C-alpha cells in the first residue's frame, strides 16, 4: 500500500474520523481509536504506511 497522510477531524466515542491531507478530498475515513497510536486527539497529524499509523 502507498503511504498516506491524515489529520484527525473529529472523535466520536471509540472512533476517529480522518481526512486525507496529501490529496484534495472531502471523504473521511472512519476508524477505531484502538488502531491508532496513543495520544491521538483532534488535529493530530498521522502517517499511514505498511498497515500502521504513526504520529507526525
Tens digits of per-residue pLDDT, 5-52?
999 999 999 999 999 998 887 889 999 999 999 999 999 999 999 999
Q: What integer pLDDT is reported at residue 26 of this predicted model?
A: 82
pLDDT recorded at residue 14: 96
Cα distance between the two ends of the chain? 19
Choose among 48, 44, 45, 46: nearest CA to 3. Answer: 48
Listed by start position, the domains of the chain span 4-55
Q: What is the pLDDT of residue 22?
A: 82
pTM above 0.85, yes or no: yes
Taking CA atoms, 30 is separated from 7, 35, in Å, by: 12, 11
Amino acid at each position: 500500500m502507498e503511504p498516506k497522510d491524515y489529520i484527525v477531524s473529529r472523535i466520536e466515542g471509540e472512533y476517529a474520523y480522518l481526512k486525507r491531507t496529501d490529496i484534495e478530498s472531502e471523504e473521511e475515513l472512519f476508524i477505531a481509536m484502538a488502531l491508532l497510536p496513543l495520544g491521538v486527539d483532534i488535529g493530530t497529524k498521522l502517517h499511514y504506511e505498511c498497515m500502521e499509523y504513526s504520529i507526525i
